[in-house]
Structure 1
Amino acid sequence: MFNLLSRAPSSAKNDILSGLTVALALIPEAVAFAFVANVEPLVGLYAAFIVGLITAIFGGRPGMISGATGALAVVMVSLVLDHGVEYLFATVLLMGLLQILAGVFKLGKFIRMVPHPVMLGFVNGLAIVIFLAQLGQFKVPDGAGGQMWMTGSALYIMLGLVALTMAIIHFLPKLTTAVPSSLVAIVTVTGLVIGLDLEARTVLDFLKGMTGNEAATIAGGLPQFHIPMVPFNLETLQIIFPYALILAAIGLIESLLTLSLIDEITETRGHSNKECIGQGAANVTCGFFGAMGGCAMIGQSMININSGGRSRLSGISAALMLLAFIIFASSLIEMIPLAALVGVMFMVVLGTFEWASFKMMKRVPLSDAFVIVLVSGVTVITDLAIAVCVGVIVSALVFAWQHAKHIYTTNYIDKEGSKVYELHGPLFFGSVKNFADLFDVKNDPKDVIVEFKYSRVADHSAIEAIDSLADKYNKAGKKLHLRHLSKDCTELLHKARDLVEVNVIEDPTYKVASDKLA
């Protein structure tokens, strides 16, 4: 029902027009996130330009849009309040260096190990977060320094313009795909408001409400080179490093999950390690040009993809047009009704949310359904990085619990009279108790062989279980042999190494993750 993906072929025209649409949608988001972080609007707008441009050129995912984000802003605000904005610039600089190191050491590939239920929960939770964020546009100043919900004609006009925007975006592609429907909707609604002189809140009204300044504007010049004015000593490092580490982790998690989502939608493959380096380079640049830093933006990325943007040109166009708006056309952008931008974001919500997950709930294991709901809820309540970490941990625990029950042996006496326990299933912390119960030390013959051809020694708990079993057989005056252990398993064994009997030629080789995936 809500398949909003543009089927228009990739072209320079589509990329440039899509970039224009994205640039218009970036402005209120960047301003809002700047105020969340307690910094000036231009600090957020410059971040959207710098991060958007550099990641579009050097990142690993063409078509993905990056800029200032709320997930980072909520972490930055305490640093700014406690130490000032100069410490924020230093932190963003260090954050970028950490992200570059993550790319150099090829850590980006591990995002491929995020389970699919966690991805579904991430997408659904993010759609809800985007939706809830738009509800703030239905509030107006109450005259006492607070906010109140719209009522009366103002509310009806707002709802009508939002509905018109959504209708244009939905139905125009059925008639033509020559221009992005989102851009047509924004231009049409803006012209309607100006032509009919409707009382509708604009980007300028939003900016005035956020600043409390009637002279507020998004106008500005080029970003200026600026070395963070902080003492370059150990004390400064102790202040900024914890923030930089958290921001780097959140930025990479959000960026790489967005990359995976765009991969799935476009049926292409991005490069996660290259994206880490691109994000890091962008944030280092932000640190030197007085910007708040950022990461991938799923909402704007979806607008870009839905509008036909596929190549790096779309992201470059969005960034350059945003800068052009700041320098040359701020007065025109400030006239855009917020209702048009809200309508665009509502359509992003409808296209982002995995509606099929409701039907899927009945068909997948209960544990997977729980993970989807859990990650969605944690995303809404806290932030994306925490939600993904919680989802991965819960999925891993469920996996461990289920596979702990899958260990068993088939037993026989070989031609030398030794009893062979042919072990099936992984030996790890969850299965060590069941493993110990599989052996009959008292009644076994003098020579016992544990065949690991169909098993895998996974962790230190497994080593201790094997060592404990060897001790039991030693005390009973019997000898235990371990056969067909893989090379990495053999290296893990220490205490029982004099008892190990390994056939190196037949040992399998195991690999967990390949750099080729990144």
Structure 2
Amino acid sequence: MQNISATTLRGDLFGGLTAGVVALPLALAFGVASGAGAAAGLYGAIALGLMATLFGGTRVQISGPTGPMTVVFASAIAAFGGSFEMALAVVLVGGLLQVALGLMKTGGLVRYIPYPVISGFMSGIGIIIILLQFGPLLGAPPSSSPLKALANIPATLGAFNHQALLLGAITLAIVFLTPIRISRFMPSPLLALIACTLLSVILGFDVPTIGHIPTGLPDLHLPHFSLEQWTLIFTLGLTLALLGSIDSLLTSLVADSITQTRHRPNKELIGQGLGNVLCSFIGGLPGAGATMRTVVNVNSGGQTRLSGVVHSVFLLLLLLGLAPLASGIPLAVLAGILIKVGIDILDYRLLKLIKRIPKQESLIMVVVFALTVLVDLVIAVGAGVVLAMGLLTWRVAKEAHISFHDDSGTVPGMPVLQHGVRVVNVRGALFFGTTSQMLDRIERVDQVLDTREIIFNCSQVHFMDLTAIFALDEMAARLQKKGIKATVIASPEVKEQLLQLHAPHLPPEIIHDSLEKATASP
């Protein structure tokens, strides 16, 4: 741990306490929204916050339940028919996968995830949170999915409770309109939580509340695995791991920009994974690095890992002694706080540019957004990645250029070819997306009656995958059967790659470094 002076100690204490105050209403709200109960949110904030602080790679990061992770966990509970233990198995798998990702040193790969996929997914999560909290805001029972929330709008309006709506409206006004000079000392979510709860108690409102919250340390839970459901458990666990890793590492980048430091991404993944593993055994809500809580910690003076420890200890003391006070918090107040979270998650930066960005990029974002809200989180992520890969493949293939010349004329910069010699020039990447172009060219060239040699000029190919190498080997074999000589020109890197594979029809004697050497060979 970093050396601690009197100044840093004071900053860490104040930063950790302030972050804990901000985390309290969010942990309770996320716990209720997940279907696991308010206590699960507190357990997750304490366990993950402590483990990620002690073993993670970002000194000032505050971790705990977040909106996206809560939505995935709620989806897991719904997918397994309300089985809490099987949902905890998803958390265990997700945590172990995060540890594995850290050990495999994949932390730096977050920068390669296409932004439209992240944008569509995060905006979709924001809309899901808003839709799921529409019922509680009006005093009606919560819905288990966004589609059910939309279908239940008539029933929700029929169960309208004007007292709940009043509390929700006041909550929204506080979290949106509280001046910064006040929120620096009293975070707006906590201010709304205290003020609206007191208002409800004083006026004797008859509104749904959190209800009983267990006091004391959490019980030990054993995640339940089922072979019949293993595929779904692993898929949701992988989604949890990837989403939590992306969320945490992006928060780490934010912390770096504020503190002018550098985090250790692989260590951060290990710390997050260990924290989520612990959550799975104590019935805690899974989570990730929380951007808002981290920024609050830093802005309040947090400089070392001690601030994260203070945050977790503060929540633990609240759980042990003050849990009964939280049982009377109206659900409409938590709904208002969560709606603010959902609105903040929406990616306004890309939404403002939606008409100016390339249509292919906006299509990916819209598809991921729609699938996230209307279908399934896992399908949305998978479809987004596949679409992004397809777009990249199309763009790289479009940049590739394949042409040919022969002895019929003089080409600037090319040597004069002997009669019957044809050259196929390939520029760009030669891979599964462009191999078909080369096959089409060869079929046209080898049908010319006087063709006796075809030279594959790959000197300007900067990348060649296994599909292209096998296709090149098969074309050489086909030409040789027709009595046509096949010759290859390759850059040093591609030549070494070809020789290492020992392709049967691409022996070293037909592979050359330049067109001059290829045309001079017997």
**Structure 2 length normalisation: TM-score?**
0.75
- CA deviation map 1:291-348 (0-9, x unaligned): 2562327xx5435536747765555444333322221001222344444433333333
Which residue among 160, 182, 204 is the counterpart of 1:151?
160
Which residue among 213, 217, 230 is the counterpart of 1:222?
217
Aligned residue for 1:69, secondary structure, equals: helix
Where do 5+ consecutive residues of structure 1 fail to align? 1-9, 209-216, 231-235, 505-518
Instruction: Flag the 1:359–1:227 CA change in 2: closer, same or farther, 3 A.
Output: closer
**Offset of 1:457 from its aligned partner?**
4.4
Contact 1:44 1:291 (C-alpha < 8 Å) held by counterparts: no
Instruction: Flag the 1:29–1:270 CA change in 2: closer, same or farther, 3 A.
Output: same
Which residue among 186, 191, 201 is the counterpart of 1:184?
191
State how 1:170-249 maps to structure 2 within 5 Å: 172-173=179-180, 177-194=184-201, 197=203, 199=205, 201=207, 205-208=208-211, 217-224=212-219, 226=220, 228=222, 238=227, 242=231, 244-249=233-238
Task: Single out whichever of 401-410 and 251-260 deviates more from structure 2.
Answer: 401-410
Structure 2 counterpart of 1:46: 43
Paired with 1:54 and 1:461, the residues of 2 have a C-alpha distance of 45
- CA deviation map 1:395-422 (0-9, x unaligned): 1112222332332146554378676544
Structure 2 counterpart of 1:379: 372
Instruction: Flag the 1:276–1:383 CA change in 2: closer, same or farther, 3 A.
Output: farther
Structure 1 counterpart of 2:459: 453
List 4+ stretches of structure 1 deviating above 6 A: none
State how 1:463-482 maps to structure 2 within 5 Å: 463-474=469-480, 475-482=482-489
Aligned residue for 1:424, secondary structure, equals: strand
1:436 aligns with 2:443: no
Structure 2 counterpart of 1:255: 244
Instruction: Flag the 1:489–1:292 CA change in 2: closer, same or farther, 3 A.
Output: farther
Structure 2 counterpart of 1:390: 383
Give the fraction of aligned pairs with identical amino acids, expressed as a percent. 24
**Offset of 1:394 from its aligned partner?**
0.5
Paired with 1:496 and 1:104, the residues of 2 have a C-alpha distance of 40
Letter in 2 for 1:473: L
State how 1:9-408 maps to structure 2 within 5 Å: 11-12=11-12, 13-35=14-36, 42=39, 45-61=42-58, 62-67=60-65, 69-76=70-77, 79=80, 92-93=91-92, 95-140=94-139, 148-149=156-157, 151=160, 153-169=162-178, 172-173=179-180, 177-194=184-201, 197=203, 199=205, 201=207, 205-208=208-211, 217-224=212-219, 226=220, 228=222, 238=227, 242=231, 244-263=233-252, 265-266=254-255, 268=257, 270-287=263-280, 289-292=281-284, 294-296=286-288, 301-302=291-292, 304-305=294-295, 308=299, 312=305, 315-408=308-401
Paired with 1:491 and 1:470, the residues of 2 have a C-alpha distance of 17
Instruction: Flag the 1:458–1:295 CA change in 2: closer, same or farther, 3 A.
Output: farther
CA RMSD of aligned residues (A): 3.7
Paired with 2:19 and 2:285, the residues of 1 have a C-alpha distance of 23
Equivalenced residues, count = 463
Instruction: Flag the 1:133–1:85 CA change in 2: closer, same or farther, 3 A.
Output: closer
Instruction: Flag the 1:15–1:491 CA change in 2: closer, same or farther, 3 A.
Output: farther
Contact 2:210 2:330 (C-alpha < 8 Å) held by counterparts: no
Paired with 2:86 and 2:189, the residues of 1 have a C-alpha distance of 38
Paired with 1:110 and 1:348, the residues of 2 have a C-alpha distance of 27
- CA deviation map 1:337-383 (0-9, x unaligned): 44443333333333322223233122111111111111111221244
Contact 2:139 2:164 (C-alpha < 8 Å) held by counterparts: no
**Offset of 1:257 from its aligned partner?**
2.2
Greater Rg by CA:
2
Instruction: Flag the 1:76–1:456 CA change in 2: closer, same or farther, 3 A.
Output: farther
Instruction: Flag the 1:111–1:390 CA change in 2: closer, same or farther, 3 A.
Output: farther
Structure 1 counterpart of 2:408: none
Aligned residue for 1:124, secondary structure, equals: helix
Instruction: Flag the 1:49–1:368 CA change in 2: closer, same or farther, 3 A.
Output: same
Structure 2 counterpart of 1:3: none
Letter in 1 for 2:320: I
Contact 2:27 2:38 (C-alpha < 8 Å) held by counterparts: no
1:501 aligns with 2:511: yes
Contact 2:44 2:284 (C-alpha < 8 Å) held by counterparts: yes
Contact 2:368 2:380 (C-alpha < 8 Å) held by counterparts: yes
Paired with 2:363 and 2:76, the residues of 1 have a C-alpha distance of 28
Structure 1 counterpart of 2:146: none
Paired with 1:399 and 1:409, the residues of 2 have a C-alpha distance of 19
**Offset of 1:120 from its aligned partner?**
1.5
